[in-house]
Chains A and B, each alone.
Chain A
């Protein structure tokens, strides 16, 4: 059973809860692999996607996951809503709840917004990415993918490469992998890999070639090119030359190492096309797994909601 009816971050989950989500997701992966990709289990429930930041892939993934559970789904996209008219975040959330939402999936550019919502609404709040804090369902689907490909996460050597400092995906993954017993290392330029992060129990490397040795999983993060202007790295060229994943660099990792990326990719900046489309890449499977994992999250949170009602 999940202890909380909200999913605000990996920080709040125990290893047992994470494993429960992953095990449940296996069952849902079977469901979405067959012809009729739907189960009736959450019929009558309503999921509202409240996305303050543009995102087609995560929102669509949540939408499909919800529909496959037979829930009703509503998409609340900020520019087209009353928020533009000056409505506060809490007012919007309460309105959404009054419309009958059982689940609110929230993505926002300010860290901590899901926590704020969870304290104010009755619905279950699912964090789809808040500021530079966490993106828990991404970390869960990444863990699911690793487990599927490698059997077990314990003892695995995982390298996360790129803009760690500003990445909620990186942080959620670090928390998740550490709880499951993996060994994590971060690779990138010093401006994007702050020294203090070592205190989370990870190794850091500026030299990618050295950092990839012995690695089982290479997780590439998207470089946001807007960052270039603020002096975090000089140019795409320079970044690619030193921290881009090429076929030659990948060969430095273990022979059976897999390549992951949360998407969308900047081909030629953090990863070459031949690696992205190559046989070690599981990038597209991550997308499929994302649906199964999000189904598991919504399903288990419903269970926690029922438990909480008693």
Chain B
């Protein structure tokens, strides 16, 4: 018999409401742990973590009545993979406040191998000297390759290595949803 081609199976595992609830819960956890939030700042990791960080910042300031400093971090120059990928849309690091002495919360959409978090920490240390770094992620899909853990997790979703998680957001013109699917032929690792 010849090879059987399977279509990538798309399964929506979280919808708009689920995402909303998860983010609300994370924002409360952050506030609680920070006991007020004086030196807090949020840094979204390009590209997936930026909108998530924005939403969290919004929820925190709604709740506490104070604006939390918000920045975005491009980690392309800190990656450890040997392949340099040219990004079709070049993203920038925009942190217009001093991170020195602050509690930095890195924000990403999907937590996977942990390599991008390591790169993000190196990037933050080249910018300043934070008093602490924490990690907030919307989805933890497992398969850690480094001893890095998240402090705040929206949802744990165990996955197979050949599966992919797509985070679709309203800010990018989609309906808010998280989709689990099989990797397409030749599709590279998302390298997270």
- A–B proximity contact (CB within 8 A): yes
Interface residues of A (CB under 8 A from B): 1-2, 20, 23-24, 26-28, 30-31, 34-36, 38-41, 69, 299-300, 302-303, 306
Give 26 A-B contacts (CB < 8 Å), ordered by A residue.
A1-B86, A20-B86, A24-B90, A27-B74, A27-B90, A27-B93, A30-B93, A31-B77, A34-B127, A35-B127, A36-B127, A39-B77, A39-B78, A39-B126, A40-B77, A40-B78, A40-B122, A41-B76, A41-B77, A69-B77, A299-B77, A302-B84, A303-B84, A306-B82, A306-B83, A306-B84
Q: Say yes or no for B79: interface residue by CB 8 A criterion.
A: yes
Chain B residue at smallest Cβ distance from A310: B83
Which residues does chain A contribute within 8 Å of B76, judged by CB atoms? Answer: 27, 41
Which residues does chain A contribute within 8 Å of B126, judged by CB atoms? Answer: 34, 36, 38-39
Which among B76, B90, B93 has the highest number of chain A CB atoms within 10 Å? B90
For the residues of A in contact with B, the DSSP-based class is helix
- Cα distance A41–B77 when bound, in Å? 5
Chain A residue at smallest Cβ distance from B83: A306
Q: Is the CB of B90 within 8 A of A26?
A: yes
- Cα distance A27–B86 when bound, in Å? 12
- Cα distance A260–B43 when bound, in Å? 38
Chain B residue at smallest Cβ distance from A296: B90
Q: Mark B90-103, 1 if CB is under 8 A from A, else 0.
A: 11110000000000
Q: Is the CB of B90 within 8 A of A299?
A: no
Chain A residue at smallest Cβ distance from B85: A303
Chain B residue at smallest Cβ distance from A68: B77
Interface residues of B (CB under 8 A from A): 74, 76-79, 82-86, 90-93, 122, 126-128
Q: Is the CB of A23 within 8 A of B90?
A: yes
Which residues does chain A contribute within 8 Å of B90, judged by CB atoms? Answer: 23-24, 26-27
For the residues of B in contact with A, the DSSP-based class is loop
Q: Chain B's nearest CB lies how many Å from the CB of A119?
A: 24
Partner among B78, B86, B127 whose Cβ is within 8 Å of the Cβ of A41: B78
Q: Is the CB of B83 within 8 A of A27?
A: no
Chain B residue at smallest Cβ distance from A30: B93
Known pairs A36-B127, A306-B82; list 13 more (Cβ under 8 Å).
A1-B86, A2-B86, A27-B74, A27-B91, A34-B127, A35-B127, A39-B77, A41-B76, A41-B78, A303-B83, A303-B85, A303-B86, A306-B84
Which residues does chain A contribute within 8 Å of B128, judged by CB atoms? Answer: 35
